[in-house]
Every structure is written in C-alpha cells, then in structure tokens.
Amino acid sequence: MHDGTHVTPSAPKVRQVLALLALRANSTVPLHQLVEELWEERPPSSAATTLQTYIYQLRKLPGLSESGRADPGAPLGALLTTPGGYRLSVPEGCLDSRRFADLATRGRRAMEEGAVSEAAATLHRALAVWRGPALCDLAPGPIAGIDALRLEEQRYEVLEERIDADLLLGRHHRLISELTALAADNPTREGLHAKLMLALYRAGRRPDALEVFQRIRQVLSRELGLEPCSELQRLHQQVLAGDPGLDLPAGTAVQGPPSGQPPVTLPADVPLIGREAELARARRALTESAGRDRPRCVSVAGAPGVGTTAFAVALAHRLGDVFPDGRLYVSFGDPAGPRGVDEVLADLLQAVGHRRSELPAGRADRARMFRCWTAGRRVLLVVDDVAAAHQVTDLVPAHAGSAVLAAGYRRLYGGGFGTSMDLLPIGPDQSHELFLGALGRDRLPGGGACLHRVLDLFGGLPGPMVEAVGMLALRPHWSLRQLVDWMNRDRHTGVPHQRPHPFHHVLRRCGGLGHRQYDTLAKLACEGDGALTVEEASRILGLEADDTEELLEELLEFLLLEVDLVRDGSSERFFRYRLPPLLRMALRTTPVRALA
C-alpha cells in the first residue's frame, strides 16, 4: 500500500517475487532462491532475463524505484540491486509480519514479568494484525511456502499464549466458543483441546470437557494410531476427579460469560400508570454523561406500596440501548432481616456466569471480582430494598458508563448518589383507572360511592390497590364494603405472604424499623387521629418535644408519615405530621410480627 492506495502487482509471478523480497526485507535474496521460488527445479533458459523483467516491473511501483532512496531519510522503501541478488529496503514497522513479531515479543515479555492483563491485551493486538492466512492471495513456491508455514505456526503459538493469558484472567466463559471452533478446525492439535477442556471445566461443564477428551482420543487413534499425550491424559484424570488444582488461583478476578446476549436478570416488566414525568427524570439522571468520571447513582424512595420496585424495573427495561452489556437486578430482601452485601454480590456474580461454589468467601474479594467484570462494560444495576447508602458501595460498577438505580425503603444519602427522587402516590383519576383496570370494569361490587371510599383509604398507593383486587378475585362474593369491613377488624394472626393482603407493603416496611421507631408509630396510630403537631405527639408518647420531633423526622425518612407546614400558630414547631389512613388502619389491626 502506498499513500493509502493498494499497489499490489496483478501478475502472479511478479507477486511471488515481491512476497519473497518482503519476507526477507532488508536482507539480500540470492538470485538462485528467486529462481527456485518461481520455477522450482525446472527453470527456463531465459530465467535470468525474465527475472530482470519482473524486477523492472516492480520498480515501476510507487516507492520501489532505486532512485527513490536518494534521500536516506525518505520513508519509502526501495528495491535495490546487490552483489548476487536483490534487497527490498523498507522502514521499520511497515510490514505486518514485523509488527506481529514485535507485539508478540512484547506480550511474552509482559507475561514473563507477571503482567498477565497487559500480556493478554498485547497478544490480542498482535493477532489483530492478521487479516487471513499468510500469503493467501498468491500461490507460493517452495521457499515462500515454507515461510508461510512458519508464519502460520507462529500465529498459532501466539494464539495459544493469548488463550493461556485469558484463562489466567478467568475469561474461560468467553473462550469456549472460540476454542470449540479452533478445536474443530485443528482436530489433532492437543494443546487447543486441552485448553477447551479446562475452559469448559471452569465454566461448570465437566461432562462437556470429558466429551472433548473422548473426541480427540478417537481422532488420534483413528487417523494416527496414537493415544493422547501425557499432559492431556493427566488433565482428563484431573477433570474426572474434580481436582481443585484446575481451579483459578485464589483472588483471580473471574470474567463472566460473553454469551451472545448480555446478562439481563430483571423481573418481569409491568405497566405503570401516571409515571411518565418521573421516568423521564430518572432516565436523564441515569444517562447524562457530561463531566462524569464515575457511574451515575440514582435512588428512588416512596411510601410503602407506592411502587418503587415496579418503577425501577420498568425504567431498566427501557434502557437496554443505553446499557448494552447487561441489566442486573438484586434485592436485600425483607427489611426485618436484610441479606448481607456478600450474599447480594454472590447473586450478581452468579448472574454474570460464575458458579456460586467457586466464589471467594470474603465480601472484599467478591466486590473486586464484580468490579473487574464490569470494567469496560456499560451495565445498569437495579438494587432493591436498600436501607442505607453504604450497602451499595461495594456494588457500584467500575465503568463510568454504567449506572446504579437503587429502590430504597427509606431516603438515601451519601454513597455517591447524585440524584434522589421521592415517588409520590398517583392521583385520584389514575387510582380509579388502576383499580378498575385490575378488577375489571364489568365488576364493581358496591357501587361508585363505595369505590371512592376505598380509593381514599388506599391514598394513591398502587401496591395495596393491586393486593386488594387480588383478594377480591379470590373472594368474588365480597363487595367493596365487605373488603373495608374486613380490613378494619382486629386480628392477632397474620395472613401468609403468598396470599394477597392490602397491608403487606405497609407492615413489611414497618418490619425494618427499630423497636423505638415502631413503638412510636404504633402509639400514634392507635391514639392519634389525623394530623399531629409535635406537642400533640409528645403528649401521646410521653416524651420531650425535642425527642418526639427527632422520632417523627426519622419516620419521615422511611416515608411512613406525611408532613405539612403549620400555618395557624397551633404549634411552636414548624411542621404538622400525619399518618396515612392505610398505615393507621394496618397498625391498629395487625401487629407487624403477626404477619407470616
């Protein structure tokens, strides 16, 4: 190529001469080797003259004129006549074969120095120089043909070294498809089959690894009358025994599977009503990239049953184009007994392809493995049931193009959260649409007036409304009035979680409270009614006003109370606090610990 234009000769013999000169660049190629390359053992009597003609044609190509090297600093090559032959003089780095060899040397040196990641990257670059088999665009003679075989063998050596580096980095999942194809193309190359067996074993596919051994054993026996080499037989025995020596070294950052599809572990999407503005705002917060050098972290909180989980999941389903390398969902579980960060990390690592039994025990090691997997990937992580920002710290992906969307059962602060959103209850019209859409417009037990009373009770919280519709579906003989009457009854035992229950969301949230917080809320629910000033709450609780105000503000952080400004002078404090009707009813009738 010269100045971006291909100038390859069209005549096959001229291409052969150029190929041999390029393979021996900056060295003299004797005349007898050129003759042998062109005509093998039967050169014509005019071989010398014909060869001079080919050289003349080559010198007409841009950059190959002998006079073109009058300036020693010129960047172009030149075809020079030397005593006994010809030499193609070219600058360093202009031949693919030299670039390949240089990168391979650098990669091997990095491997020897223990810089495995750098070695893998460099060897990948070396192999990327290849655009097909060596000298595939001509029919090489005996000399160039040997060089082509040498180059192909070097390529396979570097390929196996690069695979070794990738295996050391824990990339066995992403190697399986490549090694399967290589083994099929090279049915007797034992080293490739050994690497495929190891990759399959580490990916938890031991039967497939054993099948690879049986396959190559049959091929070697049938075609060559040989048994597999001792290394392959030893590997076979190790796979049979489940030898721990085949596992990755402790602390190795394992890379997840590069399956054709990125990992997506989101729960099923559900339609949302009246959330378009909030979805747009959260999308902007998660996707804006200006000036960002770390992943975006957005938290969403709301009253129990407002639909933070459904909101986060629905948004994640809409962001597949923004986060093409994966969208993962994990939860800290029941607020009354939240799971540990190490368990949640195990869920994430399993979702991206790791066997749970192979994970390190420590939280820090698991966090490092997850960060390593996310490096270079744009992923969205949805974390549900978050109680504090520090729970998310070890879950944040490494790539600045990634993001975290946390659904908290209280407001979150710190931990890198750049945007925090409160999800408000939906409006009366939207509540009417949701309730009737779930119940069925042909069934309205109790009439329109009773429906308005029920919707006022639920206060625009989609979760309890859907649970109530589920209860009515199980009890079609009930009217809305009977539903409200049942909700108002005192009960000492709960309803199992697998059964619909309008109080599930409220009581689950209360289960995450401390004893003092829960006792405060229960007293206010049983003895208070409507809105309470700090002074009124203080009398009910038997506490000083300052202590009472702190408790009320803590409950506000859990979004279990509503708040208004005091405008009528009825309190020396700034705010009036209100228990939502559904919360007050739930706490009056059903103890938190009674809900199974």
Judging by DSSP bridges, how do beta strands 403-408 and 380-386 pair with one another? parallel
Q: Do residues 235 and 194 make contact, with C-beta atoms less than 8 angstroms apart?
A: yes
* pLDDT classification of 73: cutoffs 50, 70, 90: very low
Query: Which pLDDT score, from 0 to 100, does residue 584 have?
Result: 86
Lowest-confidence segment of 139-153, 437-451, 506-520 by average pLDDT = 437-451
Judging by DSSP bridges, how do beta strands 296-302 and 380-386 pair with one another? unpaired
pLDDT per position as a tens digit, 223-236: 888 898 988 998 99
Where helices occur in 64-137 by DSSP H, the ranges are 96-112, 116-128
Element containing residue 30 per DSSP (H, E): strand 28-30
481 vs 448, which has greater pLDDT?
481
Query: Which pLDDT score, from 0 to 100, does residue 69 have?
Result: 45
pLDDT per position as a tens digit, 546-555: 998 999 999 9
DSSP string, 194-228: HHHHHHHHHTT-HHHHHHHHHHHHHHHHHHH--PP
* pLDDT classification of 382: cutoffs 50, 70, 90: very high
Residues 6+ apart with CB under 8 A from 56: none
* pLDDT classification of 278: cutoffs 50, 70, 90: very high
Residues 6+ apart with CB under 8 A from 174: 166, 255, 257, 258
pLDDT per position as a tens digit, 301-323: 999 999 999 999 999 999 988 89
Query: Which pLDDT score, from 0 to 100, does residue 592 have?
Result: 54
Strand order in the sheet with 28-30: 28-30, 85-89, 78-82
Name residue 135's amino acid.
L
User: Taking residues 281-301, what's their average pLDDT?
Assistant: 82
Closest residue by Cα to residue 484 from 466, 506, 457: 457
User: CA 296, CA 418: separation in Å to the nearest integer?
Assistant: 7
Burial (CB count within 10 angstroms: exposed 0-12, middle 13-18, buried 19+), residue 322: middle
Burial (CB count within 10 angstroms: exposed 0-12, middle 13-18, buried 19+), residue 567: exposed
3-state secondary structure of 25: coil
pTM over 0.75: no
Q: Do residues 243 and 209 make contact, with C-beta atoms less than 8 angstroms apart?
A: no
User: CA 449, CA 460: separation in Å to the nearest integer?
Assistant: 17
Where helices occur in 375-461 by DSSP H, the ranges are 428-439, 447-458
DSSP string, 291-348: T--S-EEEEEEESTTS-HHHHHHHHHHTTTTT-TT-EEEEE---TTSPPPHHHHHHHH
Query: Which pLDDT score, from 0 to 100, does residue 591 have?
Result: 62
User: Taking residues 520-545, what's their average pLDDT?
Assistant: 85
Name residue 471's amino acid.
M
415 vs 55, which has greater pLDDT?
55
User: Taking residues 556-566, what's their average pLDDT?
Assistant: 88
3-state secondary structure of 580: coil
pLDDT per position as a tens digit, 320-370: 888 988 999 999 988 888 899 999 999 998 888 887 777 788 888 888 888
Query: Which pLDDT score, from 0 to 100, does residue 506 have?
Result: 86
